[in-house]
């Protein structure tokens, strides 16, 4: 199982994953979505899709989590944003 660090941002309501990380983790196909995201820099982007039921380890427990996959450059220190 691949390991990836994440940033917990309790001010957001979705979990974000860069497209490059999704490809690197070899996750199942993305579920199409029609959502748009208004980003902090006031730009608007369309996600590539949703990665459903990705297991996230918190402590010794695993939780199935959905991630919105977006084509953006990730900070290598924390490539995932958990909301």
What is the rounded distance in angstroms from the CA atom of residue 27 to the CA atom of residue 33?
17
Least trusted range by pLDDT, from 4-13, 24-33, 37-46, 54-63: 4-13
pLDDT at 53: 93
What is the rounded distance in angstroms from the CA atom of residue 70 to the CA atom of residue 44?
11
Q: At 79, is the pLDDT very low, low, confident or very high (cuts 50, 70, 90)? A: low
pLDDT at 11: 57
Question: Tens of pLDDT along 48-72?
Answer: 999 999 998 888 999 898 999 998 7
The residues spanned by each domain of the chain are: 6-82
* Domain range 6-82, CATH architecture: Beta Barrel (2.40)
């Amino acid at each position: 199982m691949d390991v990836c660090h994440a940033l917990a941002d309790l001010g957001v309501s979705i979990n974000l994953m860069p497209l490059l990380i999704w490809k690197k983790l070899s996750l199942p196909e993305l579920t199409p979505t029609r959502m748009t995201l208004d980003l902090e820099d006031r730009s608007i982007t369309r996600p590539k899709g949703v990665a459903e039921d990705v297991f996230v380890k918190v402590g010794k427990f695993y939780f199935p989590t959905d991630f919105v996959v977006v084509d953006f450059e990730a900070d290598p220190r924390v490539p995932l944003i958990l909301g």
